[in-house]
Structure formats: C-alpha cells, structure tokens
Structure 1
Amino acid sequence: MTEPDLVLTIAGLAIIGATVGLLIWGKVSPVVAMALVPTVGALVLGYGFEELQTFFSSGMDQVMSVVVMFIFAIIFFGILSDAGLFDPVIRRLILLTRGRVLLVAIGTVLIGALAHLDGAGATTFLLTIPALLPLYQALNMSKYLLLLLVSLSASIMNMVPWGGPLIRAASVIGEEPGEMYQQLVPLQGAGLLMLLALAVLLGLREIRRINAKVGAGLVTSTGNVDVSQIADDFTARQKEERKDLEGKINANKVIYWLNIVVVIAVLATMLAGWLEPALSFVLGVAVLLPMNFNSAKLQMDRMKAHAPNALMMASVIIAAAVFLGVLNESGMLENVALAMLQIIPESVGQYLHLIVGFFGVPLDMLTSTDAYYFSVLPLVEATAGEFGVAASSTAFALVIGNVIGTFVSPFAPAVWLAMGLAEADIGKHIRYSFVIMWGFSVALLLVAVLMGIVQV
C-alpha cells in the first residue's frame, strides 16, 4: 500500500475539519467556509496563485453543468408556480380525503410529493401546511403527523436531479445528476409506495389515539367536516398570494394544459438522456416565459423574482468548486483516504459507504447538509474506492441514507418555516419524527441494495 504524505494528510484533515466546524457553527455562509478555508490552506502549503487558479478551474469543470441546471430548474418551476399549475390538483386531493383520517394521511403524502416537484422545501411547506392544517385540526389529528408525512414525502421527492442532495453528490463525484437520477427513479417509486403503506399504519394509529381521547372526554367527536370550505380557503389563499400577477399572466385554459405538456417534455428529454438536464431546463424556461407572459419586461421580472432562490444554491456549489478543486488536485483527499486505509480493517472498508449511509439521518442532525456532502462524501468516496466500491454507489448510499433526514434537522432553514406555519415545537417534531424517519431511511437503503442501486 502506498504510504500517505504526512503533510498533505494533516493539511487535508485540517481543511475538512475547519470547513465542517464553520458550517456547523453557522456564523458564516457556506460560501465563506468553502472558498476561504481551502484557499488559505493551499497558500500555507506553498501553492501559488497560478496553482490556485488551476485548482478552481478543475473544480468548476466538475460542477458547472450542475450549477446551470439548478438555476434554470428553479426558474422553470417558479414560472409553473406563478401559473398555479399544481393548485387544482392539490384542491382535488383535499376534496378526495372526504374528511376521513385515513384518507387525510394518504392525501398528505400525495400532496407533499406533488408540492415538492420543484425540489424546494420552503415552497413545499408553504403549499401544504396552510392547506392541510385546518383539516388536521378539524379532525383532532396531530399536527406532528402532518409534519412527519409532508417531511417524508418531500424527502423522497428530494431525490430529483434539481434537488439539493443529488446536485451536491453529483458535483462531488463529477457525474451528471440526470444520469444518476435515472437509476434512482425505481427507488423513488418504491419509496412512495412504502410511504403510502406507512401513512395507512400511522393513520390507523391516529384513529386509535383520537378515539381514546374522545372516550376520555378530552376532545369531542368531530362528525362531518366541511372539506369543501377548506379546499375553497386554499384556493382563495393561493389567489391572494398571486394577486400581483392578476391580469399579467396568461390564464387561458389552453395555456394551463400547454404548461403540463412542457413539463412532460422537459422531464422526458432529460430522463431519456436525449438532452443534458441543464439544456432541458434552459429550453423549458425559454418556452414557458413567452407562453405565460406577453411582454419582455414581465418575463424579466419573473426571472428576477425567482433569481434569489436560484442563485443561493448556485453560489454554494461554485464555492464548493474551490473546496473540491484544492482537495482533489493537490492530492490532499487522496492522502487522507490512504491514511484512513491504514486504520480501517479491510473487512469493514468495502462496507464503509453502507455504514455512513446507515447513519445518514443522525449525521444530518450533527452536521449541515453542505458539510455532509462536500466534506464527508469526498472522504468516504475516496476511501471506499480503494476497496473497489464505485463512486456512484458510494454517492447513492450517502444520498439515500441522508435525504430522508433533511426535514427533521434543525440545520435545514425550511424546517423552521414549517414549525412557524404549523405553530409547532422543533423539539416535539424531532421526538415524534426522528425514529420513524431514521427507520424509513434504513429500510430505503436496504431496498436500494436489493435493487442493485447500491453496491455491496
């Protein structure tokens, strides 16, 4: 076995440790941590500006297509949200629950999955919680069950290639997120079926809890719930939020169906591999803008409206190009992996990705998402790779293990939005959801192994 360079090993560990520490500390932006720490580390080691530029260029080559795809995917789904594409479907699902606890639990999963098609947690919670919370309250259902089911359905949908986890993982191992997602589609389908089964079990448990409370005289039996009024309130709220767009957006029924055709076309060309995901979304935005907005000014205004969300993650990934470029091109990451090989028994090394994936949910509680993907994943991938584990297999194991825990972690800003919308307590949410979400994550990882998505 090649002996690791002690200086590069120590420097690599110091950079990874300092970056993770700053991200967990939460006092600086991820851009600051991932750009400055490796730059300072490289300069201390004696690398010059020319070498730094080379490192950065290498990192940018690795992430650029991901950045472009993410920016245009956010704008793409933002335009569809402006057009109210998903509102009629959500309204219909609310009506289909008919005020029955079991159907409400199942409907919550479907609504949460639909609302998270854009991969943005904040949008998901803004759509689902105000729409469903009155229904839960009317039926004496726990708002923490609502948070759990929406969090799980959003987590499963968060495997989409424009979602944060897969984008980060793809940028780290240098693969196209669209190609990675093609392998995850069957698992995503299986995950949703598993979640629907879990929703039935949790719904039955909730019925028993409510009946016990009714029997003890703690709550009164609800009887008939006016689901139509709740659906009407949802529709009215969505119209109020879009009142600034009234008269500015093409609201013709034909346009609504054409929007659906464009969504299908973009996803089909991407998943079939006919076009790169970035180009699919660029073309999708180019079609949606003039179709929904008549003037160039309005089209630019809507792009500006969605730009902050698009640029936030893009800036983090570009900063990560510095981190990844320095660690990879300087040889630091390789030497840290070699050092770990001397510590990890060979019998364990080939399962390292599974072990880390198994602990993905608790790790998300201890680190930030950026720290997990940009610091832990490169290290695990480099080490497991020495035991013959494919980079994609390591990435899948860590994504599947971690993605389910995203919306139970206090490090996720969207979780705090959910707590505010539901008037819930973060501690109670964690106590109610953590064990179930971790168990679901482990079960999903096992299914991925059985499907051959994760190599053993």
Structure 2
Amino acid sequence: MLTETTLTEPDTLLTTTGLLIIAVTVGLLIWGRVAPIVAMVVVPVVGALAIGFDLSELQEFFAGGLSSVMNVVVMFIFAIIFFSILSDAGLFDPLIRTLILMTRGRVVLVCIGTVLIGAIAHLDGAGATTFLLTIPALLPLYKALNMSKYLLLLLISLSASIMNMVPWGGPLGRAAAVTEIDPVELYQPLMVVQGIGLVLLLTLATLLGLREIRRIDKGVEAGEFEAVGNIDVHQVADDFTKRQIEARAHVEDKINRNRIVFWLNVLLVAIVLTVMLAGWLPPALTFLIGVAVALPLNFSQAKTQMDQLKEYAPNALMMAAVIISAAVFLGVLNESGMLESIALSLLGVIPAAVGPYLHLIVGAFGVPLDVLTSTDAYYFSVLPLVDATASQFGVPTASTAYALMIGNIIGTFVSPYAPAMWLALGLAGANVGKHIRYSFGIMWAFSIVLLLVAVLVGVVEV
C-alpha cells in the first residue's frame, strides 16, 4: 500500500493520532449508535486536521483512498442489482425445491441438504436473502423431525459463510478495498479453500446429523418427543414454492415468467461468472453488462425496468456508501503515513520470532474478534494494521488478507453485529444466547481447520 511519505523511524505524533483514530472508530462501530459512514469519515477527518494537515492534503488523502476502492464499489452496486433481478425471477427456487425432496425426511440427509441449500441460496452474497429463502423452507421439516432449530442455524450459517468468500460478498469486497487487490484476483486462490471447506462441512453435517439422531432417540425414550413416522416432504416443498410466489407478488405481474426466459437466465449467470472468474473483463464491467442484459430479459417495459432499479437501489447503495466512507478512513491512515508509523512502532515490541506468524495468530482468533467487533471494524482497522506490520517481516499482503478473512468469515453469522443474524433468529424463533452457545465453539474450530487447510494448499504463506 502506498503512502505519501516513507518513514525509517516511527513518528510519535503520527503513531498516536493513528492509534486514536483507529480506537475511536472501532469504539463507535461497536457502540452501534452511529452509522459506519459517520465513524469512518468524521473521526479520521478530525484527527488529520487536528495534527496540522490542511484541506488540500485531506483532499489528496481521499483521492488516494477513493482510487483504491472505486472498482469494488461499482462491482458491489451492479452485483447486488444483478442477483436481485435473478432472485425475483425465482432462478434458484427449483433447485432448492429438488434438494428438499431429496432429503426424504431423513435426519442426516436433511443436514446435508441444509448445507447444499444454504450454499445455493447464498450465491448472491446477501445474508438476509439466504435466511429468508432457507429458514422458512426448512424449519417445518426440522420441527416435524424433532430436530434442533439451532442445528439449522449453525449449518446454514457455516454454509453461507463459506460461500461468502465470493468476490461480490462483503468480506472479500472489504479486503479487496483495503489491500487494493482486484477482487477476482484475490478470490481465485480461495476457490480451492472454498471447495475443500464445503466438503469438510458436508462431513461435519453428517456427523452432526448422527449426533442429532442420538439426541432425538433419547428424547423419545424420555418422553420429550413423540416418535416420528414418514414425513411428507412433498408438502414441505409445496409450501416453500407457495411462500416464494407470495413473496414475489409485487413483481408477479411485471416479470417475464416464460420458461425460455428461465433458461436464458441460467445461461446468463453462467456467462457472467465465467467471464468474470476467467478475467476476460473486470468484475465491475461484467456485472454492469449482466444487469444491462438481465433487466430487459426479465422486465419488458422501460418504466418497469427503472422502477425495479429504484427498488434494488437501497441495498446496492448501502454497501457502496460504506466502502466509499472507508476510502476516507484508509486514505488518511495510508497517505498520511500514520499506518506506516504505527507498524514501525509495533516492530519495536513484537518479538522477531512472532512477526512472520502475526497474520496466522490474528486469523486464528478471527471468530472471537468477529463476536467482539463489527465486520467493518475488523476489515478496515485490524486488517490494514496487521498487514502494515506483517509486511515488515516479509509476509505478502494477499497472504495476510487470506489469513484474516478465512479465520474470520466463518464467524460472520454468530456475531451480534451482523444484522442478517438477527433476521435468522427472528425467522427461526431462536434465542441469541443459545445460538452463540450452540454454534460458537464449532464455528471457531471449523475456522481454524479451514485456516490450516489454506496453509497446507499454499494460499496462506508461512
């Protein structure tokens, strides 16, 4: 990462101010009484002005930060719109319905199906959409089989977390903005980790399913549950289809439901993902073209297309606003030399033997840190600080980003700072304390295993 000045010794004023900016910003994000855009803009601006930087320098800091995040911002806006169109088109519904039927009402198969359904539902990278699709669809099946709703939350959360590594997912987008690495370039090595992670999760789901069978059998023996006969999974699947139709009633008379259009949507998704992951076009342009094709394909009238853009805009602009505000925060810390000065100061207190492993140590505590801090605080404060320090020991920026992201991403939906988690709890009628007690240990252990996998396959360098 570039800075305006190259320091050979830490500057006390820059170090102190930088640490105060980070501490106050993180504190405000954890406090939750102000929006991220407020914390990440006001605090660094005040800090920079307080130590003598003028308005022209502040403008340069912002320009430097903005140039590093603009491609990510554009990608987020059009990726969210693209997947929102396909969600309204019901693209993934038939596959989810098929997976529900394939569980056949067997506990272990239901656990495996939950993982697969969660992975498919989270292809758009949006936690809220994932939980809205999966929990109402699967909760009746879990209840009918006397299965724990906390197991449902755990499996969907783990599955969605692994899928959240996609370039248009929040964690990787934030990491790309901080490291100034192209999102697709950052994602490509993660595909191996993601694939292994899903295989490990399916194995874990099988083991948890067997454990759940033993729990249910004990409950039946103790008179807590009634023995369950054959479950009508066709009824469960029909109920899912009915709910999806009702949820999309607002666009039912606008969207093109022709069967040919459905398969054209499938083809469009395949083309967009192939073009983007192959690197033939940058992600921002790829999704922009995808939206330009998907809109008229699914909505025939120009007015309807504009109305839908207005409907999708709030979700798209929310994440864009967070990333752009981070440009101020990162710009001030990077371009002013504060981050470099902090890193030089830390070099004086971190043992030389620990430095090359700093990214692994912080990554291993990623899940607890996600529970204690917000996602924005973790990626925009912890990641740049660890990167600036670890890079002094020869650790590549990408390796630091991978270690912190893999270690942290698994705990996304056990953190009370994740809005989607509260939606999931509400849909399942679950308690946050019980969810954390049930899921936290398993999620943390899984994240450490996945981090070790990343080291073994060479994604994270040691």
TM-score after normalising by structure 2: 0.98
In the alignment, does 2:170 pair up with 1:198? no
1:286 corresponding residue in structure 2: 292
Matched, 1:341 2:347: yes
Structure 1 counterpart of 2:271, one-letter code: A
Distance 1:269 1:304 in 2: 27
Q: 1:8 aligns with which of 14, 31, 36?
A: 14
> Using the alignment, how far apart are the partners of 2:145 and 2:440 within structure 1?
24
One-letter amino acid matched to 1:195:
L
The amino acid across from 1:211 in the alignment is: D
Task: Please say if 1:358 is aligned against 2:364.
Answer: yes
User: Does 2:229 correspond to 1:223?
Assistant: yes
- Report what 1:244 is aligned to: 250
1:48 is matched with: 54
Instruction: Determine which of 218, 229, 233 is the counterpart of 2:239.
Output: 233
CA distance in 2, matches of 1:246, 1:378: 46
Residue type of the alignment partner of 2:422: W
Q: CA deviation at 1:431?
A: 0.3
Residue 310 of structure 2: SS of its match in structure 1?
A: helix
Cross-structure match for 2:169: 163
Q: Aligned AA for 2:14?
A: L
Distance in structure 2 (CA, Å) of the matches to 1:229 and 1:215: 28
2:4 maps to none
Indicate the SS of the match to 1:248: coil
Residue 3 (structure 2) aligns with:
none
The sequence identity of aligned pairs, in percent, is: 71
Matched, 1:70 2:107: no
1:452 aligned residue (441, 448, 458): 458
Provide the C-alpha distance between the structure 1 equivalents of 2:251 and 2:328, rounded to a whole number of angstroms.
Answer: 40
1:417 aligns with 2:423: yes
Mapped partners of 1:244, 1:39: distance in 2: 43
Q: One-letter code of the match for 1:222?
A: V
Equivalent position of 1:256 in the other structure = 262
What amino acid maps onto 2:127 in structure 1?
Answer: G
Q: 1:188 aligns with which of 191, 194, 208?
A: 194
Tell me how far 1:254 sits from its aligned partner: 0.7
Report the equivalent of 1:28.
34
In the TM superposition, residue 246 of structure 1 has moved relative to its aligned partner by: 1.8
Displacement of 1:23 in angstroms is: 0.4
Matched, 1:87 2:82: no
**Distance in structure 1 (CA, Å) of the matches to 2:167 and 2:202:** 23
Q: Deviations over 1:17-49 (max 9, x none)?
A: 110010001000000000000000010011111
Query: Which residue number corresponds to residue 126 of structure 2?
Result: 120
- Cα offset, 1:3, TM superposition: 2.2
Deviations 1:113-148 (A, max 9, x none): 000001010000000000000000000000000000
1:320 maps to: 326
3-state SS, counterpart of residue 386 of structure 1: helix
Kindly report which structure 2 residues correspond to 1:366-381, keeping only aligned pairs within 5 A, or say none: 366-381=372-387
Deviation at 1:302, TM superposition (A): 1.2
Give the whole-Å Cα distance in 2 for the aligned partners of 1:19 and 1:248: 44
Instruction: Determine helix, strand or coil for the equivalent of 2:354.
Output: helix
Say whether residues 1:441 and 2:447 are aligned partners. yes
Q: Within 2, Cα distance between the matches of 1:29 and 1:246? A: 34
CA distance in 2, matches of 1:382, 1:419: 37
Report how far residue 220 of structure 1 moved. Answer: 0.8
Aligned pairs (5 A) from 1:390-429: 390-429=396-435
Q: CA deviation at 1:247?
A: 2.6
Cα deviation for residue 2 of structure 1 reads 3.2
Calculate the TM-score normalised by the size of structure 1: 0.99
The equivalent of 1:135 in structure 2 is 141
Distance, in Å, in 1 between the alignment partners of 2:194 and 2:259 is: 31
Task: Indicate the residue corresponding to 2:395 in structure 1.
Answer: 389
Query: Structure 2: how far apart are the matches of 1:86 and 1:410?
Result: 28
Aligned to 1:57: 63
Counterpart for residue 17 of structure 1: 23
| Per-residue deviation, 1:218 | 1.3
Misfit runs of 4+, over 4 Å = none
Q: Deviations over 1:161-192 (max 9, x none)?
A: 00000000010010111111111111100000
Q: Number of aligned pairs?
A: 456
What is the one-letter code of the residue matched to 1:230? Answer: V
* Runs (5+) with no aligned partner, structure 2: 1-6
**SS of alignment partner, residue 191 of structure 1:** helix
- The amino acid across from 1:420 in the alignment is G
Separation in 2, partners of 1:183, 1:153: 19
The Cα RMSD (Å) is: 0.7
Amino acid at match of 2:173: I
> Residue type of the partner of 1:189?
G
- Partners of 2:339 and 2:231 lie apart in 1 by 59
Q: 1:212 aligns with which of 196, 210, 218?
A: 218
Secondary structure in structure 1 of the residue aligned to 2:52: coil
